[in-house]
Amino acid sequence: MPPSSPLEPDTPTRLRRWGRRISRGVDAIGERLGITMRDHAPREPRRRQLPRTEWHSETHRVGEIWVRHHVRPGRRRASAPHPTGAAPAPGSPRTTVVFVHGLGMAARSFLALADQFRDHDTVLIDLPGFAGLPHPPEPLRMDQFADAVVGACRQLAITDLILVGHSMGCQVASLAAQQLDCRAVVLLAPPDTRAPLPLTAWRFLRTVHHEPWIARRKAVANYLWGGVHWALEVLPLMLEDRTREALRDVHDPVMVVRGEHDRVSPAAWVDELWHTCRATERVVDGGAHSMIFDRVGALTIHLHDAVR
């Protein structure tokens, strides 16, 4: 058997070093401008991010990382007390839809989709380092992001939930589902983590062509808000993760949804996930990777099937 290339085992390490150098350079520029995102108390989301009349937001620290969750009681329960962290009353279980965003995104990415689930309690989660939260001292692995999601769900005493992840959020949701009792797990545009970085980048460029302007604009705004350098540091760890292996340990019903034009989440990859956990597979016509912005109607139909 021919020896493997000496570069292969070092590829993830090289990617991390590359991302770290860029990150340090951006941080240095930020410090000269008097701007820093590390080691400070997080800013609360501004009113235009999430309407405070509907959403209750809370930021809390777990060890060296910060996580933020936004809670909106369902319409049928809006008149009932719903303090953050309070357990539901005995005999009245809540069905809660929990949304987990992807790389570089934020909880606000799901506002349009969450608006379609006003009859259910809804929770949006800002992952550590994104959405203006301080960056942890070191880039987090997917299982560490998952621990943050699990911690938020347990703090809110959620006992009956639908866990929805988008892009990198699919990897986080798959790992979090191993520790939570979910009614269903919905994966929107799960990225093919088997592909090397150059192929993933090429697929992303081919997909961007099909993204509407509003999706591009919101994606850029979220990346700048959370820090492009932080996303670059997390990216190699995201590509090291193995979603298919994680799904083998998920015993809840799984639904996988991909956009018709999404090359980052190709059909062959979704088929493999289907064979792994016998997931329900759906395709959104005309959708691309960022379909949560412009294919809300079609996604709502699929998600309601999972909620029922």
Instruction: State in Å, rounded, how far the first CA of the chain is from the last one.
Output: 52
* pLDDT score of 143: 94
pLDDT tens readout for residues 274-307: 888 888 899 999 999 999 998 999 999 999 888 7
Q: Do 195 and 202 touch, CB atoms closer than 8 A?
A: no
Which pair of tokens denotes residue 275?
């064979």
Given a cut of 60, whether residue 27 has pLDDT beyond it is: no
pLDDT above 70 covers a percentage of the chain that reads 76
Residue 34, CB-side half-sphere exposure with 13 Å CA sphere: 0
CA atoms of 219 and 8, how far apart (whole Å):
32
- For the residues 92-116, what does the mean pLDDT come to? 88
Amino acid 306: pLDDT: 84
Of residues 273 and 93, which shows the higher confidence score? 273
Please write down the HEC assignment for all residues of the chain.
Answer: CCCCCCCCCCHHHHHHHHHHHHHHHHHHHHHHCCCCCECCCCCCCCCCCCCCCCCEEEEEEECCEEEEEEEECCHHHCCCCCCCCCCCCCCCCCCEEEEECCCCCCHHHHHHHHHHHCCCEEEEEECCCCCCCCECCCCCCHHHHHHHHHHHHHHCCCCCEEEEEECHHHHHHHHHCCCCCEEEEEEECCCCCCCCHHHHHHHHHHHHCCCCHHHHHHHHHHHHHHCHHHHHHHHHHHHHCCHHHHHCCCCCCEEEEEECCCCCCCHHHHHHHHHHHCCEEEEECCCCCCHHHHCHHHHHHHHHHHHC
45-49, 92-96, 150-154, 179-183: the lowest-pLDDT one = 45-49
Given this model, what pLDDT does residue 209 score? Answer: 85
**What's residue 3's pLDDT?**
45
Average pLDDT, the chain: 81
Average pLDDT over residues 202-207: 91
pLDDT of residue 21: 66
Alpha-carbon distance of 89 to 141, in angstroms, equals 35
CB 284 within 8 A of CB 211: no
pTM of this structure: 0.80
**136-152: burial string, b at 16+ Cβ within 10 Å, e else:** beebbbbbbbbbbbbbb
Residue 20's pLDDT band (boundaries 50, 70, 90)? low
Domains of the chain: 54-227+242-307 (3.40.50.1820)
The mean per-residue pLDDT over the stretch 187-191 comes to 96
Higher-pLDDT residue of 256, 31: 256
Distance in angstroms (rounded) separating the CA atoms of residues 196 and 240: 10
Q: Cα-Cα-Cα-Cα dihedral of 295, 296, 300, 303, to 10°?
A: 70
Higher pLDDT residue, 27 or 243?
243
Tell me which range, 121-135, 206-220, 238-252, is most confidently predicted by mean pLDDT: 121-135
